[in-house]
Chains A and B, each alone.
Chain A
Amino acid sequence: MTSHSISDSADMAASRSRADALASFKTGDTIFQWMTYLAAACVLLVLGGIIVSLFFGAWPAISTFGLDFLTTQRWAPNARPQAVLGGLGPIYGTLVTSVIALIIAAPVGLGIAVFLTELCPQWLRRPIGVAVELLAGIPSIIYGIWGFFVLGPWLADTIEPAIANAFEGVPILGALFDGPASNLSIFNASLVLAIMILPFVTAIARDVFSTVPPVLKEAAYGLGCTRWEVVRHVVLPFTRVGVIGGIMLALGRALGETMAVTFVIGNSFRISGSIFAPGTTISAAIASEFAESRDLHQSALILLGLLLFVLTFFVLAAARLMLMRLERKQGA
């Protein structure tokens, strides 16, 4: 009896501690799950926070200028009686620099990707791949000071006068390359941007090129196709969506790049037909004016930021959707 009760209570104790342990496991489990859940919600919260805070910050400017903001070039924070602020200059600069950067970086990036996947000897692939990716790792301010001290003067002293002279008098192109060669110009900014986004184009193009089933390429080679024909007629058509997605991703980068551009673009709100003239971009305008802006001026800068965010959001979203489509195709 006694012995029985003893073992009984021991049993009970054991089962209680087991129950306790299970219960604590369970609470621990629930807490952990909730923590991950909250953390995941944080990602959404950040996006929501960005949109809300930008929108509230931009509201005074939206309600004052309305749609005129998009079509006004004049940027006069100190005008009397009220500031006149138009975003056309920075919006134009943002688009032009990004597009020129893409025109340069896209073919070069694709070229490097073709080289890496089709031509390069195995042992060289990794070092070159890493080297190109290191370009992406260099902080953007470094590109800025390099563009300011090295690229800018070189462009202004040699390249720009040469191009300007070559096209002098030619309609349209003459105006495009007109004007005093300047260290700080839209052209310089575009070139720096091109170098910066090159690794993004290359990395994604290389990744999507490697999704092409070898059997397709082998079949083409078997038919006697040259390397270029394989790339042109097999690899590129198969990966078209992914390549475009990668280029859009790079475009998203270029649109929002700040420090590198601020150093070399010249901060001029006036739109000039020439790409050798100074200009400004949305991010450069914010970087150089925000710290000292007040009231409507600050609100207008935040509105520019909001526009930039919306623009990059759509470009990046389109890029992601395209890349996802390629993934699905690959999975299918």
Chain B
Amino acid sequence: MKISSIMCGAVIALSALAGSAARAADITGAGATFPFPIYSKWADAYKKETGNGLNYQSIGSGAGIKQIQAKTVTFGATDMPLPAEELKKNRLVQWPMVMGGIVPVVNIEGVKPGELVLDGETLANIYLGKIKKWDDAAIKKLNPALTLPSTAITVVRRSDGSGTTFNFTDYLSKASKEWADKVGADSAVEWPVGVGAKGNDGVAGNVAQTKNAIGYVEYAFAKQNKLTFADMINKAGKKVEPTVTAFQAAAANADWANAPGYYQILTNQPGDGSWPITAATFILMYGEPADKGASAEAIKFFDWAFAKGDKMAEELDYIPMPQSVVALIRKTWDSEIKNK
């Protein structure tokens, strides 16, 4: 019969195709969307240099933790560090890979990047639904020179579990007591208002698409996509612009050496020049991996990224880890991850 023979042919051809496919030793990882631009850039460069690919799925920090626990990937990536005891329980090793800033982005007609100024409390009130319109007195007070429309604010937030959300809500909790009481800080919270979008890219896309919207994204997403970011008033009461210098000023406060599991949260740091919503993004790997070969390949990639990836990171407005911290992390790899 023709049909069945065609189908048999198709099955054979497909299985031959699948069988003959070279099983390239791609490193697999999954997790945070926050560092996705830099990871995929590194992956691209690493593939050109060594021929080894890295298949990174940016499916959100929550999913990254889930995937590494299910052992479906070689490494997980999260912006929400796991506390030391949880690492121990799951026999995971954690280290920071790169740092960056989270910025509020808006889409208001006539407002250009950096023109709008917000502080923590106002931002919290917008996300609480208490400030409903752009010409609210609280926003006007911070921006006396701007003409703001009397239109309703469309709040955009993440619909998936996200380390970006964790750092953002952590900051809002520190800046607003009401936020801390009502909502709190987590990778996924019960949002009082707003539309949910998936991933940093989804929030960026939604804000770009929706008039009078506000959202929060990793700085690289805002800058690459020419979104209108807002300036913030930091803990010291000074107005800061989201720049690599401001992120570095905040990151300089971190004391990595004395944090077990490198558990450090970098929001609302002191200092005149510190950007208030700065965050590090972390890698999770097993201390005693099932597939030692894949684990060693992954470490090779991260080692390469620390050695040669700094310039690429800076190009995308991430902050590379300081050399002293990288030395600490290399020591951690040697002592805690058993690839042999």
Contact = CB atoms under 8 A, between A and B. Distances in A.
Interface stretch (A75-83, A209-217, A249-257, A304-312): A75-83
A184 interface: yes
A297 to B, nearest CB: 9
Given A78-B186, A78-B187, A182 B197 contact: no
Interface stretch (A1-9, A149-157, A220-228): A149-157
Interface residues of B, number: 31
B307 interface: no
Contacts of B212: 180
Given A266-B195, A266-B196, A268-B195, A292 B210 contact: no
Main secondary structure of the interface of B (DSSP, over half): loop
A27 B124 CA distance: 76
Contact of B66 (A179, A184, A292): A292
Contacts, number: 76
Nearest to B197: A267
B194 interface: yes
B140 interface: no
A229 interface: no
A157 B62 CA distance: 35
B245 to A, nearest CB: 34
A184 B194 CA distance: 10
Nearest to A288: B159
Given A76-B190, A184-B195, A278-B195, A292 B206 contact: no
A292 B63 contact: yes
A294 interface: yes
B196 A288 contact: yes
Contacts of B189: 78
A182 B154 CA distance: 7
Interface in B153-168: 153-154, 159-161
A42 to B, nearest CB: 16
B152 interface: yes
B127 to A, nearest CB: 13
Nearest to A77: B188
B211 A180 contact: no
List the 9 closest pairs (A to B, CB-CB), nearest first.
Answer: A180-B152, A292-B63, A267-B196, A266-B195, A267-B159, A278-B195, A292-B62, A78-B186, A184-B195
Interface of B: 59-60, 62-63, 66, 132, 151-154, 159-161, 186-198, 206, 209-212
Given A77-B188, A149-B209, 19 more contacts: A78-B161, A153-B211, A157-B211, A180-B153, A180-B212, A183-B210, A184-B210, A266-B195, A266-B196, A267-B195, A268-B194, A270-B193, A278-B196, A291-B59, A291-B60, A292-B63, A292-B160, A293-B66, A294-B66
23 contacts: A78-B161, A78-B186, A78-B187, A149-B209, A153-B210, A179-B152, A180-B212, A181-B152, A182-B154, A183-B154, A184-B195, A184-B206, A266-B195, A267-B195, A267-B196, A288-B159, A288-B198, A292-B60, A292-B62, A292-B63, A292-B66, A293-B62, A293-B66
